[in-house]
Amino acid sequence: METTSIHHDNRRVRPRRGACRRAVAGVAGLAALSLAACGGGSGGSADSDEAVDYPDQEITFVVPFSAGGPTDTVTRLIAEPMSKELGQQIVVQNVEGAGGTVAAGQVATAESDGYTVLIHHIGMSTAPALYPDLPYKPLEDFKPVGLITDVPMTIVARKDFEPETLEDLIAYVKENADSVTLANAGIGAASQLCGLLIEQAVGVDLTEVPYDGTGPALTDLVGGQVDFMCDQTTNTASQIQAEKIKGYAVTTPEPVEALPDLPTTAEAGLPDVEVGVWHGLYVPADTPDAVVEKLTEALAVALEDQNVIDKMADLGTAPVPPEDVTPEAHTSKLEEQIDLWTPIIEDAGVTGT
């Protein structure tokens, strides 16, 4: 079964409106839909009959960053087995902007029928502290479906960047803080959070170069247009292995099997830079529990798929344990992470717009 198709452009997801869902004839129709174009319809959430039939049409997975980047990669890995399990096509839609908050804001107000699903990562827990006017509340406007994976980050640089080790990098950025460039995927992205931790630990304020995702940021790193960045192994592992970029360290307490030559940040001199990029699926808050249950079950099946396990291992990560593939575990993680990151971000005084 053909499961995914790519949408590179920014487009709105379907608004909350009962009649709209039935009007969608195909992928192209998504871009054209608007409240006005959808006409009448009673609106509101899907009723229990719909939950019994669910899913009876294609499902859209909204990715808050660029196609080809780490979030997109994880999405496409799970979309295929989930599609098989649910018996419906899954369309992957990239809605970029404002460090992932544009997509989350759109899904928060999308129709709550289980046909619009957000994949998001640690950024769901950092956004409330970063954006004073965030148009959604992570704990109130969504139902978590389940956790997916917790991806290590790497500190990486263009191949010809002078520092050879993390220790060299620390000394170099202290000496050259005015000229060094640090790429990220915007305020709210995992790369921005990790970069912030590095700046705090080293005591520098670098020139940040924001992208719509670390997919394009990595392309520029390989091309030598920016100096260094923090990014997930799901994006960097193959480029480090191919020696197209320089890898300094992994941001996890334990080394990463796919990158055996990289020390941990604790081993290499930045013990405060420890961060794992946990991912989960979300639906709008009014989505019926029976629909959420079907998505959770399909996610659990996908994460036991040997192909998914093997591909994640190649990319330096793994599915979360089965007990974390539940709305309850996901909600606890989100609460705990909001509590963890809020004071750190407030102390740093970083804000998005």
- Please give the residue ranges that form the binding site for ligand MLT (CB under 6 A): 65-66, 69-72, 121, 123, 185, 189-191, 213-215
In the complex, minimum distance from the CB of residue 70 to ligand MLT, in angstroms, rounded to a whole number? 4
Q: How far apart are CA 182 and CA 171, in angstroms?
A: 15
| Residue whose CB is less far from ligand MLT, 95 or 190 | 190
Q: Which among 318, 231, 291 has a CA at the least distance from the CA of 86?
A: 291
In the complex, minimum distance from the CB of residue 250 to ligand MLT, in angstroms, rounded to a whole number? 15
In the complex, minimum distance from the CB of residue 211 to ligand MLT, in angstroms, rounded to a whole number? 8
In the complex, minimum distance from the CB of residue 214 to ligand MLT, in angstroms, rounded to a whole number? 4
In the complex, minimum distance from the CB of residue 140 to ligand MLT, in angstroms, rounded to a whole number? 23
Angle (deg, nearest 10), helices 233-241 and 306-314: 60
In the complex, minimum distance from the CB of residue 150 to ligand MLT, in angstroms, rounded to a whole number? 13
| Residue whose CB is less far from ligand MLT, 51 or 67 | 67
| Residue whose CB is less far from ligand MLT, 111 or 212 | 212
| Residue whose CB is less far from ligand MLT, 24 or 134 | 134
Q: How far apart are CA 9 and CA 202, in angstroms?
A: 37
| Residue whose CB is less far from ligand MLT, 123 or 327 | 123
Q: How far apart are CA 103 and CA 255, in angstroms?
A: 33
| Residue whose CB is less far from ligand MLT, 97 or 263 | 97
Q: Which helix (H) or strand (E) holds 344?
A: helix 327-348
Cβ contacts of 330 within 8 Å, gap of 6 or more: 144, 145, 146, 147, 280, 324
Q: Is the peptide bond before 55 cis (omega within 30 degrees of 0)?
A: yes
- First-to-final CA distance of the chain: 41
